[in-house]
Amino acid sequence: MSVLRRILSLLWLLASVMRPDVAYAGFAAGPFLVWVNLQKDANAHITEEVVRYVKNEKIGVLCDRNVNGPILYVNSRPEGLTDQLVTDALIKHDNAAIASLREKLLTFRDPPDVTEGLDGLIVYAEIDGPRMIGFGAKSGRPHVSAINRTMNSYQVIKSFCAVVPPIWRK
């Protein structure tokens, strides 16, 4: 093999390893999530706690998981992903709303980062007591973590972490 060919091969290898948007050995970027606070008027501080945690967490660690560039959509959402749709899907367990919610998450695009859809969403609600509800876009199943009414920051984040859906994109 010529020297030039070896140099070009090495440069190609280095360039591909240095790209942050490339996943290796099943380690996709993310998780990519939507945050919904159904009690935003009464409990805006819950959103502030979650956003502060996600922003301040060390790169590569979220909820004691190794992750690569988590994204949390707080103020923007996929088109049509409303509080009412979330309520119908995750609180009222309406099958048509669940299917619509999954479709909106799986087909959402926000280049250059989100090109294959979102991993799911996390909801704070106070229906039958305060709780976090995680919803995996691929599985279509909710996971619930109850929170004590006298919750502190630690309990909020612990509950948030308990419902983070898995990264389904490879």
User: Quick one: pLDDT band at residue 48, thresholds 50, 70, 90?
Assistant: confident
Write down the pTM of the prediction.
0.77
Tell me the C-alpha to C-alpha distance, in Å, between residue 83 and each of 7, 28, 87, 117.
Answer: 55, 29, 6, 19
Q: Give me the phi and psi of 89, to 5 degrees please.
A: -75, -50
Of 9-13, 134-138, 162-166, least confident by mean pLDDT is: 9-13
State residue 15's pLDDT score.
38
Cα-to-chain-centroid distance, residue 133? 12
Structure confidence by residue, pLDDT tens digits, 73-84 = 998 889 999 999
Mean local confidence (pLDDT), 7-24: 40
| Residue 22: predicted pLDDT | 39
